[in-house]
Amino acid sequence: MRHRLSSLSLLLVSCLFALCLMGCGPRLVPFTHELRVQHNLTSKDLKNLQFYISHEVTLRRELESGGSQVTPGHKLLLLSGKSIEEVVIEKHTPGVATEVSDRALAVSFEAGFSMIFAASAEPGTPSPSFQSFATAPDPFPGNPSSPQPEPIAVPSGAFGGSYWLATEEGGRVPYQGRLFEAVEQSLRAHLLIDAESLEEVVESRTVLPGVRLQSK
């Protein structure tokens, strides 16, 4: 009987510990354009927020014949006799905004490179008008490469909703100055934010330091 009570106590303690760990994690919510407008977030505010990606993103592109060099940290696959460069960003990977426009954010999940997320009611919505972000430098400038992609299409009209992974026509994703195919659930990826982090940024911005009289 005593052994059974001891086992139950151990199980209860384990459950409480697991709940504590869950409670200590960030409370992630979708980052929407409405949320950005509601809190009147500036470019500085957005660059001080911790973003996360909602879904795993897998990007692939075929290397040219004879090419085998890929960006450090990326994978080199051999599929159906073709050399494929693969980039994987796991679900809930943290990132920071490096550039900001009215309807889009460039968010970096690895040093030196960013992905574009554009506000839209649904993923993969093409836009006829666009602004552009600067393209990152080629990590292998001496190697032959495919033609550079056109500037990423970024909505400039009255759009709202979540900030989805932005694509070119055909669903291809520009990254590191090249176009990648987005596979599996990659196009469902959108930005998440830690609700407490947002509250801290808004609070720190709205608390006034006050003005003191100058000493005579």
What letter would DSSP give residue 103?
S
Domain assignment present for residue 19? The answer is no
Q: Which residues pair with 117 in a beta bridge?
A: 105, 165
Helix, strand, coil percentages for the chain (3-state, nearest 5): 25, 30, 45
**Binned average pLDDT, 10 residues per bin, the chain of 216 residues:** 56 51 71 93 93 94 67 62 84 96 93 91 58 47 46 52 89 87 91 88 72 77
Give the closest residue to 115 by CA, choosing from 77, 87, 143. 87
Q: How far apart are CA 190 and CA 198, in angstroms?
A: 17
- Alpha carbon distance 14, 21 (integer Å): 11
Is 17 inside any structural domain? no
pTM over 0.75: no
> Residue 194: which domain range?
27-56+92-204
**Is residue 212 assigned to a domain?**
no
Q: How many CB atoms neighbour CB 40 within 10 A?
A: 9
* CA separation for the pair 174, 106 (Å, rounded): 12
pLDDT at site 171: 80
Assess if residue 171 is contained within a domain.
yes
In whole angstroms, what is the distance from residue 33 CA to residue 28 CA? 16
What pLDDT is stored for residue 169 in this prediction? 76
- Burial string for 117-145 (b: 16+ CB within 10 Å, else e) reads bbbbeebebebeebeebebbeeeeeeeee
> Is 12 among the domain residues?
no
State the pLDDT at residue 177: 84
The verdict on residue 130 lying in a domain is: yes
- Predicted confidence at residue 2, as pLDDT, reads 54
Number of structural domains the chain divides into: 1
| 162 neighbors 117 (Cβ within 8 angstroms) | no
- Determine the pLDDT at residue 199: 82
Q: Rg (Cα) of the chain, in Å, rounded?
A: 22
Asked whether residue 162 is domain-assigned, the answer is yes
- Rounded to 5 degrees, φ, ψ at 164 are -90, 155
Q: Residues 116, 110, 92, 57: is their CA dihedral positive or negative?
A: positive
- Give residue 65's pLDDT: 64
The residue with tokens 């697991």 is 18
**How confident is the model at residue 46, as a pLDDT?**
94
Its sign, for the CA torsion 135, 146, 169, 190, is negative
For residues 111 and 96, what is the distance between their CA atoms, to the nearest angstrom? 10
Amino acid symbol at 38: Q
User: Residue 32 in contact with residue 190, Cβ under 8 Å?
Assistant: no
The answer as to whether 193 is a domain residue is yes
Per-residue model confidence (pLDDT) at position 72: 56
